[in-house]
């Protein structure tokens, strides 16, 4: 009788593990689709993955036209899978030539000044 209960618990744990793996796979596919869509809309893209601690990982994307955006993945491993699946180039750090590709407009400059120097808000 105890063997039956143990087997049932193992089966339930395996089923739950498969569900979580399937959820993670769908999430990676959704992130990869969003990355590919960004790249297509901006003539190509490059990215960088940054740790956010327990929150996960941030995928920063920079298009060939200088536009940028970001996505958050639940884990660094999922972020790596998503960028690999999307086929974009990934940089180790956000500096040098890669950072120089980012175009910032009035919104970003006003926002940065407003936060750091008490400048106007963007409300």
pLDDT in tens, 81-100: 999 999 999 999 988 888 89
Is residue 19 predicted with pLDDT exceeding 60?
yes
Query: CA angle at residue 22 from 21 to 26, to 5 degrees?
Result: 115
Would you say residue 56 has pLDDT above 90? yes
Q: What is the band of 113 on the pLDDT scale with cuts at 50, 70, 90?
A: low
Instruction: Say how far residue 54 (Cα) sits from the centre of its chain.
Output: 14
DSSP, collapsed to helix, strand or coil, labels residue 90 as strand
Strand 89-91 vs strand 45-51: parallel, antiparallel, or unpaired? Answer: parallel
CA angle 47, 74, 107 (to 5 degrees): 50
pLDDT (0 to 100) of residue 5:
58
The mean per-residue pLDDT over the stretch 36-55 comes to 94
Among 10-14, 32-36, 106-110, 117-121, the minimum mean pLDDT is found in 117-121
Write phi, then psi, for 70 (nearest 5 degrees).
-150, 160
């Amino acid at each position: 009788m105890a063997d039956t209960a143990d087997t049932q618990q193992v089966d339930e744990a395996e089923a739950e593990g498969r569900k979580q793996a399937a959820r993670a796979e769908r999430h990676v596919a959704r992130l990869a689709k969003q990355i590919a869509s960004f790249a297509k809309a901006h003539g190509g893209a490059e990215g960088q993955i940054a740790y956010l601690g327990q929150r996960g990982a941030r995928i920063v994307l920079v298009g060939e036209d200088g536009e940028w955006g970001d996505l958050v993945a639940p884990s660094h491993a999922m972020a790596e899978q998503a960028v690999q699946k999307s086929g974009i180039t990934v940089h180790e750090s956000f500096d040098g030539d890669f950072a120089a590709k980012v175009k910032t407009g009035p919104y970003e400059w006003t926002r940065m000044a407003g936060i750091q120097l008490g400048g106007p808000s963007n409300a």
